[in-house]
A = this chain, B = another copy of it.
């Protein structure tokens, strides 16, 4: 495994530690082509993923429209947090953007892991709080910034996204149409 298994299971930065190393054998390798659906809207998530190579996106269907919600790359963990931890139907689809080499943790193995080492829950709680802070920032940006500002911030803070994610997905992520994003890009020369 070239990247380190992260503490987070839903998109936070990777954060290795002894505890996690101890249980990394629970993570199983998986290689999939682009556009592979790893989790389908409405299904209960039984797996948390870690990206060794490639990229994923989380999206959902809104009145026939494909709306991207978040993008993930090497070294990041991905899951439908609420679905995985609470065994509820997922509101989202999880799909590969590129051919990807992944590791996944099955819910049964996760259960065994926390049964053996309950302290792992602290790690999960911290990850959940981090995730929440992240979503909060997303939401705040959506209500306080214009689409131009959101695009400019994305360009500054996560330029790699622009190089690896189709613009139509980025447009829906910014809450605008592909046409409007194209105009914004044109205006910024």
A residues near B (Cβ < 8 Å) are 60, 62, 65, 67, 69, 81-82, 85-86, 91, 118, 121-122, 124-126, 128-129, 131-133, 135-136, 138-140, 142-144, 172-175
Complex contacts, A69 vs chain B, CB 8 Å: 136, 139-140, 143
Oligomer copy total: 2
- Whether B143 pairs with A175 at a CB distance below 8 angstroms is yes
**What are 22 of the A-B contact pairs (CB < 8 Å)?**
A62-B140, A62-B144, A65-B144, A67-B140, A67-B144, A69-B139, A69-B140, A69-B143, A81-B129, A82-B136, A91-B136, A118-B118, A121-B122, A125-B128, A128-B128, A128-B129, A128-B132, A135-B135, A139-B139, A143-B172, A143-B174, A144-B175
Complex contacts, A133 vs chain B, CB 8 Å: 81-82
- Whether A129 pairs with B82 at a CB distance below 8 angstroms is yes
Contacts A67-B144, A82-B133 known; 11 new A-B pairs at CB < 8 A: A60-B140, A62-B140, A69-B136, A69-B140, A82-B129, A121-B122, A128-B129, A131-B132, A132-B132, A135-B139, A139-B139
- Whether A85 pairs with B144 at a CB distance below 8 angstroms is no
- Whether B86 pairs with A129 at a CB distance below 8 angstroms is yes
